[in-house]
Structure 1
Amino acid sequence: MVSIIDRVRGRTDAPVLPEPEPEDIFEEMTLQEHLEELRQRILYSSIAIAIAFVIGLLLAFPLLGVMADFSGLETFVLISPTEGFSTFMRVGFYIAVALAMPVLMYQLIAFMGPGMTSEERYYVRLALIPVTILFVAGMAFAFFIVVPRALNFLAGFGAGGYGPVVFEDAFRASEILSFYFRLMLWIGLVFQMPVVIFVLVKLGIVSTERLASIRKFMLIGCMIAAAIITPTPDPFNMLLVAIPMYLLYELGLLLSRFSIGWVATPEAGAGPDPDESDETRR
């Protein structure tokens, strides 16, 4: 049977291997069993989101106040009778998804587990902690640094900060909320770069030598991506995103180099690959 790693590498024929250990044999499940498993995972995920949604509603107004303070605004503008309530519910839901994310990720991995080998399951579980930490770090970086500076620039444009006064600031609550969470989502995903690079190297899709040889192109790519992600045309806000993005690329390259010659085993952790020569590890 071809594993997920073999499929990613482009191998469609099963390699000749010794008889697999019992834990490496894929679990055979009927369609009915798959549907029942999916139903249970969806049920557990829904319960987690429902509980987290109650907590999110309690934190919605305090978070909106923090967003207003960081944006340099006293209040948000509402232009429809339902906008205040819908914004409140949206904030509560976003908080609920963020709080329930570990449970959602666990349920997803548990559902995919029967189709993975023990090594693949080990790498997926190993990536959970850094993925969570990097995503939270990216959202915090966007919330406390990138978004407030971008809003200050946009609010000052045409309102006396960069020329004659031709505009008056009056930001809608729903637009500020979308602005915040859109940037937080994109920058949180960008912060996954070290994990993505590490996985690509471990799967054999790309080598560390190849990644090191395209540094200058990656630097240009980071600048272009930062210009697309940030909504402001000023270079300062663009560099606020581009520099961490490139440093994360270098971090992923560094971690991948240290991982060369090491293989993971669910029982014993990671260790050097006995089939790999010392010259290759260097």
Structure 2
Amino acid sequence: MNAELPQQQPGNLPATVPTRLPKRLPTPHVPKPHLPHLPDPDAPDVFEEMTLIEHLEELRDRIIKSVLAIGVAFIAGVFLASPLLKRLQEESGAATGFDVVSPTDPITIYFKIALYIAIGLALPVLLWQVVGFLLPGLTGKEKRFLILSMPFVILLFLAGVAYGFFFAAPRALQFLASFMSDIYEWSPEGQEVISFYLTLMVGLGLAFQLPVVMFILAKLGAVTPKKMAGFRKYAVIAILIVSAIITPSTDPFNMGIVAVPLLLLYEGGILVARVFASRPLSPVVGSGQRQT
């Protein structure tokens, strides 16, 4: 039997209005984020033992894959060598063409350029073969750290190569060509120009790894970001020495072209170490087992 509720007159509302609160739903368990195809850092480490013959066989297979990658990329290098040589001629100021010292220089330079292009195009494959050979001997955390750092290594190397090709080498050659031009006739050899470009590009590509090296040192706990900032004056001297080694010439102008981006990268490395390397990796203890 339904009970009749008392009717309320307008303007005579009750002091409190009963409300029905919603039930609190249980919070779902969210697993720790884990990128696919990456080793789980919390999983137990399992090291697969391999004999010397098995190591040599794996090394042989990876060398074959690397050579095949370079061979396929060499086909593209053959087609790209001619326009690249034309660009080098224009950037070096050799208006009438490169000087030829040996009768075989034209064809030698052409295929050498094609090979350099092939190595550059196959670089990701080559690096992955090196990483794949090293991974079985690393822990899960080290594998994850190495795999995640590879894209930054490749990008920084390509950035250094691009800086050397599009800015550093052309500006350096323009400066050298204009130096005492009323006395000297600028007529560079093809081999020398290619060596000049290659030295700057590869040197800058390796030097641009400075933030990665600083991040790894901070992550391993070898150097703190505060100490990196304190070593700034010594870093400037070291960068100037490295710039003198990378630069084919010894003039201050070309050294400055190389040193300025390295100084900026050093400051960027300190910032990266402060932000992302706050928790160092577990060190290796003397018993042969890794501390967790």
1:205 Cα shift?
Answer: 1.6
1:263 Cα shift?
Answer: 6.8
Contact 2:74 2:117 (C-alpha < 8 Å) held by counterparts:
yes
Contact 2:153 2:212 (C-alpha < 8 Å) held by counterparts:
yes
Per-residue deviation, residues 239-277 of structure 1 (Å, max 9, x unmatched): 22211101101111111111243478xxxxxxxxxx9xx
1:49 Cα shift?
Answer: 0.6
Distance in 1 separating the partners of 2:64 and 2:236 = 44
Query: What is the aligned-residue RMSD (CA, Å)?
Result: 2.0
Per-residue deviation, residues 50-85 of structure 1 (Å, max 9, x unmatched): 001111111001111111122222211112111111
1:33 Cα shift?
Answer: 1.7
Structure ID, larger Rg: 2
1:23 Cα shift?
Answer: 5.1
Segments of 5+ residues of structure 1 without an aligned counterpart are 1-19, 265-274, 276-282
Distance in 1 separating the partners of 2:120 and 2:69 = 11
Matched, 1:261 2:278: yes
1:233 Cα shift?
Answer: 4.5
Q: Identify the residue that residue 204 of structure 2 maps to in structure 1.
A: 187
Contact 1:76 1:170 (C-alpha < 8 Å) held by counterparts:
yes
Which has the larger displacement, 55-64 or 231-240? 231-240
Match of 1:71 among 72, 76, 92: 92
* 1:69-148 equivalence runs, <5 A: 69-74=90-95, 75-148=97-170
Distance in 2 separating the partners of 1:23 and 1:73 = 61
4+ residue stretches of structure 1 with deviation over 6 A?
none
1:119 Cα shift?
Answer: 0.9
1:234 Cα shift?
Answer: 4.2
In structure 2, give the amino acid aligned to 1:86: T
Contact 1:56 1:96 (C-alpha < 8 Å) held by counterparts:
yes
Q: Identify the residue that residue 270 of structure 1 maps to in structure 2.
A: none
In structure 2, give the amino acid aligned to 1:26: F
Per-residue deviation, residues 202-253 of structure 1 (Å, max 9, x unmatched): 1122111211111122123223332333244443332222111011011111
1:159 Cα shift?
Answer: 2.3
Segments of 5+ residues of structure 2 without an aligned counterpart are 1-40, 282-291
Matched, 1:48 2:65: no
Distance in 2 separating the partners of 1:254 and 1:159 = 44
Matched, 1:219 2:241: no
Which protein has the bigger helix share?
A: 1
TM-score by length of 1: 0.80
Matched, 1:149 2:171: yes
Contact 2:165 2:197 (C-alpha < 8 Å) held by counterparts:
yes
